[in-house]
């Protein structure tokens, strides 16, 4: 004869297929909502491979279509002298001039969109879904691993801000560096893009 414990296990196994399976979260349109990625860690550039990666190209097109202005991605490099994610094809520079009111407004709009919480209260939700590792704009660094809180920035190529060019100070563009996974188009934002943006439809 079965013990009480064994009988309970048998009954549980028999009833298990009848229990409802929790549905994955979905949007109002019924599409499955992928979870928001954790804030990115720092993944420094380590090799010379400047060809723009699929996800980076998708992000560049999105920036130009949604926020106007133009973008650039790749930087040439010499072996052994890799210093930027541009040299791995996973960074985008989006033009915005901090010396003009229009440029400052445009950059603030972009930063607000990237760093705003979503409807569920997830901080910097869009930047996290895009796999943004860090941003640099107007003498400030916004690092994912520090909650995208702005902190003073000075390029290692500059002794002081006064002697530093607008470009090295990132006063004429917003720099966006991506994780390697995002550059491949594998984080949640890229996986949900329509065909004109989708990294999987690019070479």
In-domain check, residue 139: yes
| Cβ within 8 Å of residue 180, ≥6 positions away | 43, 88, 90
In-domain check, residue 17: no
In-domain check, residue 6: no
pLDDT tier at 86 (50, 70, 90 boundaries)? very high
Averaged pLDDT of the chain: 86
pLDDT of residue 121: 97
66 or 33: which leads in pLDDT: 66
- Cα separation, 14 vs 38, whole angstroms: 38
**Domain of residue 166, residue span:** 36-201
Label each residue of the chain as H, E or C: CCCHHHHHHHHHHHHHHHCCCCCCCECCCCCECCCCCCCCCCCCCCCCCCCCCHHHHHHHHHHHHHHCCCEECCCCCCCCCCCCHHHHCCEEEEECCCCCHHHHHHHHHHHHHHHCCCCCCCCCHHHHHHCEEEEEECCEEEEHHHCCCEEECCCCCCCCCCCCCCCCCCCCEEEEEECHHHHCCCCHHHHCCCCCCCHHHCC
In-domain check, residue 90: yes
Number of domains into which the chain is organized? 1
pLDDT of residue 37: 98
- The yes-or-no verdict on residue 1 having pLDDT over 80 is no
pLDDT of residue 170: 98
In-domain check, residue 120: yes
In-domain check, residue 193: yes
CB 93 within 8 A of CB 2: no
pLDDT of residue 166: 96
pLDDT of residue 11: 44
> What Rg, from alpha-carbon coordinates, does the chain have?
22
Question: Would you tell me the crossing angle of helices 101-115 and 54-67 to the nearest 10 degrees?
Answer: 130
Closest CA to 58 of 92, 88, 96: 92
In-domain check, residue 30: no
In-domain check, residue 184: yes
pLDDT of residue 10: 43
Please give the share of the chain, as a percent, with pLDDT higher than 90: 73
pLDDT tier at 3 (50, 70, 90 boundaries)? low
**Per-residue pLDDT tens for 156-200?**
999 999 999 999 999 999 999 999 999 999 999 999 887 555 555
pLDDT of residue 193: 82
């Amino acid at each position: 004869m079965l013990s009480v414990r064994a009988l309970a296990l048998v009954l549980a196994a028999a009833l298990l297929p009848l229990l409802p399976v929790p549905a994955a979260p979905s949007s109002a349109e019924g599409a499955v909502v992928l979870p928001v990625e954790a804030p990115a860690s720092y993944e420094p550039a380590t090799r010379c491979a400047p060809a723009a990666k699929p996800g980076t190209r998708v992000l560049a097109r999105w920036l130009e279509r949604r926020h106007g202005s133009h973008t650039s991605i790749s930087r040439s490099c010499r072996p052994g002298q890799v210093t930027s994610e541009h040299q791995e094809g996973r960074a985008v520079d989006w033009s915005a001039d901090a010396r003009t009111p229009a440029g400052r407004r445009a950059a603030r709009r972009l930063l607000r969109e990237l760093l705003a919480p979503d409807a569920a209260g997830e901080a910097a939700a869009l930047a996290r879904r895009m796999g943004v590792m860090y941003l640099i704009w107007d003498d400030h660094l916004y690092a994912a691993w520090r909650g995208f809180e702005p902190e003073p920035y000075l390029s290692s190529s500059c002794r002081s801000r006064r002697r530093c060019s607008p470009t090295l100070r990132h006063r004429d563009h917003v720099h966006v560096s991506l994780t390697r996974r995002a550059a491949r188009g594998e984080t949640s934002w890229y996986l949900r893009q329509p065909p004109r943006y989708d990294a999987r439809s690019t070479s």
